[in-house]
A and B are shown apart, each in its own frame.
Chain A
Amino acid sequence: MMIFTLAQRELRSLFLSPLAWSILAVVQLILAYLFLTQLNEFLTLQAQLKMIEGAPGATDLVILPLYGSATFILMMVVPLLTMRIISEERRSRSLPLLFSAPLSMSEIIIGKYLGIFSFLIMMIFMISIMPLSLLFAGNIDLGLLAAIVFGLILLVAAFAAVGLYMSSLTQQPTVAAVSTFGILLLLWIIDWAGAKTGEDGASELLGYLSMLRHYEGLAKGVFSSADVIYFILFISTFLILSIRRLDADRTKG
């Protein structure tokens, strides 16, 4: 119950800052542009595609690239949204309000996390309106779309968990944003190094750590429970780290 009160406050504060609105607008604008160019290309190719048996449809040629770009843009944008969650409260010294209320550290962290998560869900919904609008014109593979959206939700949930933890480490929102982006980028490309060294064990491990690897499966419509568990473990690890970090504020001072 308390968790939702905290989440609601977090969401409200986000929408009271111009940052959240401008991020929503910019992301929507860029993705809408990409969507329209892809769609345009698809329409010019459509006549030729009709000739070929089993040719890729709108889902493959428009929707997949759209979500491909969306993951990368969100990787840059999520750190900006999560940077203030705790660091700002620490800086403006408003944390004692939460600490002296009858709330546990887990409630505080999970409440804040849910607040930012619901904002990200709204963002993904806004993005998904564009492919859904194609339903007016024809058929799209709704199953694949659902898988991609589900994958994207897991992915940004993981981004947000890292951002929350980074924000709990510092008083400076910008430091939190930069380090979050650094970690996300590293986890994104970590399997490149693995592929190059050629050592089987190492590359396998690095490949397993890579977020991209686990997202790709879902984005292709392959629902693998291993990938889902990877994200759930990833998110819970960073949430637990954040709870411990916030508790350290109390014990270490």
Chain B
Amino acid sequence: MVNTLIQVEHLSRTYGSLQAVNSINFELSQGEVLGFLGPNGAGKSTTMQMITGNLAPSQGRIKICGIDLLEQPKLAKAEIGYLPEQPPLYRELTVDEYLQFAARINRIARNKVATVVDRAKQRCGLEQTGKRLINNLSKGYQQRVGIAQAIIHSPSIVVLDEPTVGLDPIQIREIRDLILELGKEHGVILSTHILPEVQMTCDRVQIISQGQLVYADRIENLNQRMQATSLVIGLQNSPMTDALAAIDQVDAIDDLGDGRWRIHYQPENSPAEILVTQAVEYNWGLYELTPEYKSLEQIFVDITTAEQMHSQQLNLEEQVA
């Protein structure tokens, strides 16, 4: 049975006249990692703050494990662990003291605090740093303390707002592994503007732009969308462009210079095989044949600009009307 952890309905938030989040709907199930993608100022953090009870929504409903966050905030908040963009640390405390405090305010019984703290430290790789002052830790370790704080009471839902910002590549990889591991037991919501991060860690993706959800799908479908519609071919004995264009499946050709061409084709209609046979037959001296993938960035730009065009069009129509 799929267990729905978060249910968000028509969630909106305005700051004065600025519509930061506009009628967002989504759900999160147990054992799922949901990626929230969006450019800066798209409304990712605002959404995260609302589902963790740090910000009251202007409109809409949030249900955490079936409990209404606005009606029973204490019950609902017990199920959530939250790491904001900037980890909420008391820098004058040691890691142990801080985590003990975090455990206590999340209603962990006094006799269980030590076990819980040890477990969180072990999961976040903080075993050696317990006695150190948070202020003296590096940014990466402070981030880990922030994550440890979020998972200390084994919440059903872990919300991480840009958890890998400002970390070095090794730390990023470690934190991604941690997120994958968390996703096995908890439901995880992850916001980021780094697209490969979503590819590597998430089961589902939601793209948010200007406060609206513009795309929501499983990661496999997103990967499919990224499939190639072009390939690069490198030939030593360059034939005439016409010879390449004559091949049925080829839609268009760009000359990249140095005997390299980019060949565009329709999806699922790859000319690669024919190109290879022809290259052998006419002795073109094939030295490169690379299928190209649309980068997630490209898709991201495609979707967000399409959305902007659409809304501009709507505005125009409204003005005309």
Contact = CB atoms under 8 A, between A and B. Distances in A.
A102 B89 contact: no
A94 B105 contact: no
A9 B104 CA distance: 11
A101 B106 contact: yes
B71 interface: no
Given A16-B92, A102-B75, A6 B105 contact: yes
Interface string B71-89: 0011101101110101011
Contacts of B82: 96, 100
Nearest to A104: B74
Nearest to B76: A102
A222 interface: no
A21 to B, nearest CB: 13
A97 B98 CA distance: 11
Given A13-B90, A13-B92, A97 B78 contact: no
A3 to B, nearest CB: 10
A98 B53 CA distance: 10
Which of A16, A17, A99 has the most C-beta atoms of chain B within 10 angstroms of its own C-beta?
A: A99
Contacts of B55: 250, 253
Nearest to A108: B105
B149 to A, nearest CB: 7
Interface residues of A, number: 24
Given A94-B90, A250-B55, A103 B84 contact: no
Main secondary structure of the interface of A (DSSP, over half): helix
Interface string A52-87: 000000000000000000000000000000000000
Given A13-B92, A253-B15, A102 B84 contact: no
A16 B86 CA distance: 23
Contact of A100 (B80, B90, B92, B101): B80
Nearest to B94: A16
A103 B54 contact: no
Given A5-B104, A101-B102, A251-B56, 8 more contacts: A13-B90, A93-B84, A93-B86, A100-B54, A100-B82, A102-B78, A102-B105, A102-B106
22 contacts: A2-B107, A5-B101, A12-B93, A16-B92, A16-B93, A96-B52, A96-B54, A96-B82, A96-B88, A97-B149, A99-B52, A99-B53, A99-B54, A100-B80, A102-B107, A103-B74, A104-B73, A104-B74, A250-B54, A250-B55, A253-B13, A253-B49
Interface of A: 2, 5-6, 9, 12-13, 16-17, 92-104, 250-251, 253
